[in-house]
Amino acid sequence: MTIVLDQQLLTWADIAAVADGAVLRLAESAWARLARAASIVESLVETGVRAYGITTGVGALSDTVVDRASQAALSRNILFSHACGVGPLLPREAVRAIIAAQIANFAHGYSGVRPVIVETLLALLEKDMIPEVPAGGSAGYLTHNAHTALVLIGAGWVRCGDRRLTGREALAEIGREPLVLGAKEGLSLVNGTACSTGLAALALSHALRFLNWADAVSALTLEAAGAQMAAFDPDILALRPSEGIETVGRTLRARLAGSGLIAASLGRRTQDALSLRAIPHAHGAARDLFDQVAATVDRELASVTDNPAVSGSPEAPIVSSQAHAVAPGLALAADGLAIALAQISAMSERRLDRLVNPLVSGLPPFLASDAGSRSGFMIAQYTAAALANDSRRLAAPASTDGGVTSGLQEDFLAHPTAAALKLHTILDNAAQILAIEYLAAAQAHEFLTDVAPRAPGTQALYACLRRHIGPYADDRPLSDDMVAARALIRDQDAPA
């Protein structure tokens, strides 16, 4: 798959595709914008106009003039001083997403980096030479980008499959020499919202798959619990107008159409518990929010997020200092989606408890095939509860965190990168919780085979799991099954 960046702006789905291995190309129009912006920076250098990060220092040193002879050193030194990330490395797909978002920002033609910078970044993506980028250490956007940029000058480290290379070695393998950075290029390489935007785009891709699985797995649970389908009647759901509610209701009805188990349970209860009855409302609210977050990320990709921005012409250059590299909207969006996913996974844990709890399930205690000598899913529910609690703590918004940096010059921080990173953690927790529910729902169905047949839609889900994982009889570590089920949810689409 090849994605071409031209007059058409990249979307979050494009960034996610590049993260997954798609090839990114630039059309001639984008290369022309890059070249024009680079010529404007050169003109600024020639005329000696006072411009942040071009002829001055950065941050609290913005009033310190840097002479022309020192401007290349400034660009190089910015990378070294800003590459101070710590902690575990970001995964390959996350770094690819960040690089793709950074290229999209440069291609607007307001940054002023030379085309060779983008050519080298594209070559790294194409050959899957992925810079090592520590996950921690950024209050905004600087450290992650700096670790990626180190490779362009032959420094830093790169992963290529199982190999670890120096930046210089990686460049040599793709037939390139380390770059000598020009004026502003160091600042542009660490600047902007590429990190949080790339991470958010990737999170959207994972979240969409998770939401589809959440609808599917909840249907399998509804069937095992003998749900009362009247609550999901389209006319009843329409009393609360919501595209998300409508979508989830339609999905549940389709999944459960033709279910003998649902037919057999008709009228068994006046109404179900809220963890069953409110699935369209909770899942639907998350889907409505997903659409808003997706629009925010797409808007971020359509935005120039470099400071300063260069415009005008080489004959009449304009340099504009602003705050486009700050992304409060993106931070709020990532925080919001994190809260929604934490809520859905908490509901999943409650459904799981209803399956294993003999006080309400009508099934063998803890779904054990021989209760007493076997514990079944008793402790698996503990794990799900622990993960749900972890996500509840993580759902506290990063966008309201404080922090003052750079000698009072940067005295407001929106923390979009922190918001995006914890969104990924909550997604990981949510996928594992849902995987445990998936296992338990399938296990519940083992005790219902003689009652009535499953719906075709839930049979597909049951069969998908059973192709990989058999029924549980306390005959193996349950964690292995949990990891395998989680892999299904993270790596595959829910079967139709």
| Strand ranges in 216-329 using DSSP code E only, listed in sequence order | 309-312, 317-320
Distance, in Å, from the CA atom of 218 to the CA atom of 234, rounded to the nearest integer, reads 18
Is 438 a catalytic site residue?
Answer: no
CB within 8 A of 467, min separation 6: which ones?
none
CB within 8 A of 4, min separation 6: which ones?
25, 26, 27
Q: How many residues does the chain have?
A: 496
The 10 Å Cβ neighbour count of residue 236 is 12
Give the gyration radius of the chain's Cα atoms. Answer: 26
Rounded to 10 degrees, the C-alpha dihedral 274/279/281/284 comes to: 160
Catalytic hit among 52, 110, 438, 472? 52
Which whole-number Å values give the CA distances from 354 to 131, 218, 381, 481, in the listed order? 46, 12, 10, 20
CA atoms within 13 A on the CB side of 379: 6
Alpha helices in 184-226 (DSSP H): 185-190, 194-224
Tell me the sheet residues that pair with 410.
405
Q: Which two tokens stand for residue 429?
A: 């927790």
Amino acid at 57: G
Known catalytic residues are: 52
